[in-house]
Chain A
């Protein structure tokens, strides 16, 4: 119970400071909209094409916009040595990590929920025909992306080339989750249920979340404390 409160305290701190300044959130949402707009110029897709590429387009947008949020996650603690203060606070490293991950998860979900209707309007697509399944896939993938991103944000926080290294490291690592999400989202936005043969992608997504959450929780103490 105490552990959960510690997680929530860290997540609450991150969310409060982000929602008050809206630094990364505004940047990520604007960035997502800009990519959505740019993409329509790049391809000028027809309604049928949109059915085929919607998942890929959306998850590229979410992944790129997500990197902006994830990059700031630990970097924001560098000023005034806040990271040292956090590490020396009487909570376990895993609680600190889970709190940060939860904060990022909420922020990234907000970006996605804002982007989806904008996508629907710009590309004339009824995206909500399989709403609940779509939300499930969205949340599962977002958690996987957030866990990897938060962990690697901690790994790269002290690097000179942080802004460059984080995307280079996280995108290949996220591919299993993104690949599953792109495939499933394309089907769901087209209004089709997930066929029996494609259930392996949901299993892959759940397995990805479990394995990387366990790895990150187990190893984060080493990264933060040494």
Chain B
């Protein structure tokens, strides 16, 4: 039953993305200053919001793990971090492509970009730490602590465009600027794509959590076999 629900949700997010692509490429016009390349914003911004959401969920579930000591929270944390890192890479790559066209360079050491990269490296370090610890309880405990520490870099990345004058464009979405920086039709589409990506993220996280649960079960059976 759970598999069917996941497959249905996956299908919904896939169809939603296809429909969004149709509107993005065929219905919406080019942006006045940037031309066609601006369309990357429909994937760039939603993928960053998705990864920030994933890291936030990971941080909260890590904290809950430390309070409740329930391994499900650890499973949720690792699943969301893995998916979050994938979306971070999507965000970095799309941003880089946009930068190549608009700025003429793939990369610049601007505070927003730098911190985005640092966030990616820090969460990759979290995944490395997990691989380096064999004992499941110690792994869950230590990586939960690291995950809470890591979230500070997400906050800095998010606020970097407010704290520094960056080469990266400033906020465009109405909830940060109070409106007027983006055409309502474009903003609406951006949120549509965010919805589709968040749904996709949730489906992948759910699948990843099942894998993690199974792996935990296999590990405990193996330990049991060794004990016998």
Contact = CB atoms under 8 A, between A and B. Distances in A.
Interface stretch (B12-20, B25-33, B124-132): B124-132
B125 A172 contact: yes
A219 B59 CA distance: 13
Interface residues of B, number: 25
B199 interface: no
Contacts of A161: 132
Contacts of B161: none
Interface stretch (A64-72, A126-134, A152-160): A152-160
Contacts of B142: 155-156, 223
Interface string A188-226: 000000000000100000000001100100010011001
A172 B141 contact: no
Contacts of A173: 122, 149-150, 153
B125 A168 contact: yes
The secondary structure that dominates the A interface is helix
A219 B141 CA distance: 10
A75 interface: no
A223 B141 contact: yes
B132 A165 contact: yes
Contact of B141 (A160, A175, A200, A226): A226
Contacts of B206: none
A56 interface: no
Contact of B132 (A159, A176, A215, A226): A159
A169 interface: yes
Contacts of B164: 200
Given A172-B118, A219-B145, A160 B163 contact: no
Contact of B148 (A158, A176, A219, A226): A219
B66 A215 contact: no
Interface residues of A, number: 22
A168 B128 contact: yes
B189 to A, nearest CB: 34
Nearest to A226: B141
B36 interface: no
Given A169-B125, A172-B125, A158 B145 contact: no
Nearest to A223: B145
A175 B138 contact: no
Contact of B137 (A160, A219, A226): A226
Contacts of B156: 176
A219 B125 contact: no
Contact of B146 (A155, A176, A211): A155
Nearest to A170: B125
Contacts of B145: 155, 219, 222-223
Contacts of B153: 172-173
A215 B128 contact: no
Contacts of A175: 114, 118
Contact of B129 (A160, A165, A223): A165
Given A155-B145, A173-B150, 4 more contacts: A151-B149, A173-B153, A222-B144, A226-B138
Interface of A: 151, 155-156, 158-161, 165, 168-169, 172-173, 175-176, 200, 211-212, 215, 219, 222-223, 226
Interface of B: 66, 114, 118, 121-122, 125, 128-129, 132-133, 137-138, 141-142, 144-146, 148-150, 152-153, 156, 163-164
8 contacts: A165-B128, A169-B146, A173-B150, A173-B153, A175-B118, A222-B145, A223-B142, A223-B145
